[in-house]
Amino acid sequence: MAVNLLDFDLEGLAAWCESQGEKRFRAVQLFRWIHQKGEADFAAMSDLAKSLRDKLVASAEVRALPVLSEQRSADGTVKWLFDVGGGNAVETVFIPEEDRGTLCVSSQAGCAVGCRFCSTGHQGFSRNLATGEIVAQLWHAEHRLRKELGLAAGERAIDNVVMMGMGEPLQNYAALVPALRTMLDDHGYGLSRRRVTVSTSGVVPMIDRLAEDCPVALAVSLHAPDDALRDSLVPLNRKYPLAGLLAACARYLPRAPRDFITFEYCMLDGVNDSDEQAHALVRLVSGEGPARVRVPCKFNLIPFNPFPASGLTRSPRERVAAFAAILQGAGIVTTVRRTRGDDIDAACGQLAGEVLDRTQAARRLAERRRVVPIVVASARAVGRGGHAGSLV
C-alpha cells in the first residue's frame, strides 16, 4: 500500500525522502505543499523535479479521510463525521469565535477510559487513530474553510486546536506526538504551542513524557475534588489518583507554554456541584488538600451535555454560577463554557456519530447472526446538547 504522507512530521518526511534517495530538503517543499497549500496531487507540485513527482505517484499518497457528513449550525459551528474504516467514524468540530477559529480533533475511535458522563466512553474503545488520521482532520477542515472563506495565501482559518474530540489522546501517545509537531511546525500549520491543547483524563506517566517530547497547553479533566467521587466518574483515577495527578500537573508547568493548567469540570446535578465540593476543589489545587501540591490553574466549568444512558443530569444554571463564584472568590480564573452548535448535536463529550452507531451495530449484528441486516437501529441514543465554545 502507498505510504500516507500525512503520517509524517517534517523529520519523519525527511527520513522517508532520504530512504527514497532524495535530499532531505525536498521534504520541506513537499511538507509545505501538503500542509500549507492543501495539495494532494503530486502532479500539481510544480517546483518538485519530475523524477521525484513520478516517484511520489508510484509509492505515496496524501490520504484524506472520507467525509460521511458535514453539518452546520446556525451559529457557524461545523461538524464533520469522517469514515476511518471498519465501521468506525470519528467527529471533528470547528467552532468560530470572534477572535479565533478552534478545531476540536479526535484521537481515537471510541475511548477505553469509560467516564460515566461521556457518551464516547459509553461506546467503548474501537481503535487508536494513526498520526495521518489525526492530521487529516485538520488538513481537511483548514483547507475546506480557507477556500470557503476566500482567505488570502498565508491566512489561516484555524489558529487553535484542542484535542478534545473522541478519545483519550495520551492513550494514543505514539501517534499523537508527530501530529502535534505537524500542527506546530512553521512549514506545517504554524500554530503556537499555547494554541494547541491536549486534554487528558489524567494519564500521569504520559503527562511527564509530553513535557519532554512536545510541551503544548495542557487541560486536565478533573470533575471531582476527591478520589472516592473521581474513582466513580473517571475510572482511570483508580490507577492514577488525584495526588499523583496534581503532582504531574505541577511538574508539567515549568515546561509548558502557559503558566497554568486548565482544569475541566463537567457540572453534574447533585453529583459534583455543591458549595462544599467547590471549597474542597479550592483546597485541592492550593495544596491544602490530600494532594499537598499547589497547581496554578484556571477552571473551565462544562455544563453536562446529557444523554439518556448516563442517568445523569446537568446542573442548573444558578448552581453553576454559585460554584463558579466560590472558585473565583478564591482567586481562581473560572469560565463557564458556552454551548455551541446545539442544533447539529455537536456536543462536548457526545461525539460518537449516529452513523458510527448504525454501522457498528450492523457489523456486530451481522457477525452474531451471520446474516446481512436489512434495517438497523441506532445502538445508542445520542443526546442533545451543544458543543462547548471557548474551549480553553
Q: Give the residue numbers annotated as catalytic, written as ranges.
A: 91, 348
Q: What angle is formed at CA 189 by the lines to CA 174 and CA 103, rounded to 5 degrees?
A: 80
- Minimum distance of ligand SF4 from residue 382's CB (angstroms): 14
Q: Is 201 in the site for ligand SAH (CB under 6 A)?
A: yes
- The set of cell numbers assigned to 385 is 446538547
- Minimum distance of ligand SAH from residue 117's CB (angstroms): 5
- Minimum distance of ligand SF4 from residue 15's CB (angstroms): 32
- Minimum distance of ligand SF4 from residue 266's CB (angstroms): 8
Q: Which residue is nearest to ligand SF4 (CB)?
A: 121
Exposure string of 60-91, with b = 16+ CB inside 10 Å and e = fewer, is: bbbbbbeebebbebebebbbbbbbbeebbbbb
Measure the N-to-C terminal CA separation of the chain; round to a whole number of Å: 39
Q: Is 91 in the site for ligand SAH (CB under 6 A)?
A: no
Contact of residue 350 among ligand SAH, ligand SF4, none (CB under 5-8 Å per partner type): ligand SAH
Phi, psi values for residue 166, rounded to 5°: -75, 140
Binding site for ligand SF4 (CB under 6 A): 111, 113-115, 118, 120-121, 167-168, 201, 221, 349
Contact of residue 164 among ligand SF4, ligand SAH, none (CB under 5-8 Å per partner type): ligand SAH
Q: Which of 118, 130, 297, 352 binds ligand SAH (CB under 6 A)?
A: 118
SS3 294: strand
SS3 content of the chain, % helix, strand, coil (to 5): 40, 20, 40
> What is the rounded distance in angstroms from the CA atom of residue 268 to the CA atom of residue 275?
13
Contact of residue 304 among ligand SAH, ligand SF4, none (CB under 5-8 Å per partner type): ligand SAH
Q: Is 304 in the site for ligand SAH (CB under 6 A)?
A: yes
Q: Which of 200, 237, 315, 359 binds ligand SAH (CB under 6 A)?
A: 200
User: Between residues 178 and 303, which has the closer beta carbon with respect to ligand SAH?
Assistant: 303
Question: Cβ of 269: how many Cβ atoms within 10 Å?
Answer: 16
> What is the rounded distance in angstroms from the CA atom of residue 200 to the CA atom of residue 99?
25
Q: Which of 164, 183, 282, 382 binds ligand SAH (CB under 6 A)?
A: 164
Task: Look up residue 134 and give its amino acid.
Answer: I
Classify the C-alpha dihedral 251-254-259-264 as positive or negative: negative
- Minimum distance of ligand SAH from residue 92's CB (angstroms): 12
Strand partners, 125: 110
